[in-house]
């Protein structure tokens, strides 16, 4: 991928190219616009996508053309102050001073995203999608538990010959 112009995007592409082998799940950067970078999150048939914008990495679930839920969001808004940068979104007790914006993005966005992918996302056996009275949400399921009430779809991940295979189970509720 050619290096994009927005600074956060350049920083992410450079960081990703250096650290891609650390991801347990083979996420890929699949598109870049002036608004952000699209991130492919394999394992659930394209239902889960990541997106880096000017201050966050958001991981969302879309099913049958409808946005179901925002699974995770990592945010950072570094602002220059004195001899460094601090995140305007951090609680006062968690404020750290970074020597540059790239360091804040790495520590507050990129590395937490990697950790989440390698722990919670990679451990999920199933993605359950729910709807009740117009509200929707998604849940990554680690243990093979009973599917809850109001589940409209359950997407299971299985390993076959070293490759991911999908089994979709649409439920009538």
pLDDT in tens, 82-115: 889 999 998 989 889 999 999 999 999 999 999 9
**Each residue of 4-55: pLDDT tens digit?**
678 999 999 999 999 999 999 999 999 999 899 999 999 998 999 999 999 9
Q: pLDDT class for 134, splitting at 50, 70, 90?
A: confident
Q: What is the mean pLDDT of the chain?
A: 88
Encode 68-106: b = buried (16+ Cβ within 10 Å), e = exposed: bbebbebbbbbeeeeeebbbeebeeeeeeebeebbbbbb
pLDDT for residue 26: 93
What pTM did the predictor assign?
0.87
Could you report the per-residue pLDDT of 72-85, keeping only the tens digit for each? 999 999 999 988 99
List the chain domain ranges.
7-123, 126-170
């Amino acid at each position: 991928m050619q290096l994009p112009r927005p600074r956060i995007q350049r920083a992410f592409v450079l960081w990703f190219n250096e650290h891609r082998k650390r991801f347990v799940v083979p996420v890929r950067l699949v598109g870049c616009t002036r608004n952000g970078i699209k991130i492919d999150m394999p394992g659930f048939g394209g239902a889960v996508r990541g997106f880096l914008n000017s201050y966050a990495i958001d991981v969302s679930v879309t099913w049958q053309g409808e946005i179901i839920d925002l699974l995770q969001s990592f945010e950072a808004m570094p602002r220059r102050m004195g001899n460094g940068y601090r995140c305007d979104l951090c609680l006062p007790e968690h404020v750290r001073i970074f020597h540059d914006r790239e360091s804040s993005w790495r520590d507050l966005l990129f590395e937490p995203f990697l950790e989440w992918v390698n722990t919670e996302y990679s451990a999920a056996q199933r993605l359950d999608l729910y709807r009740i009275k117009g509200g929707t949400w998604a849940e990554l399921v680690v243990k093979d538990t009973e599917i809850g009430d109001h589940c409209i779809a359950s997407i299971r991940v299985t390993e076959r010959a070293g490759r991911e295979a999908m089994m979709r189970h649409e439920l009538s509720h």
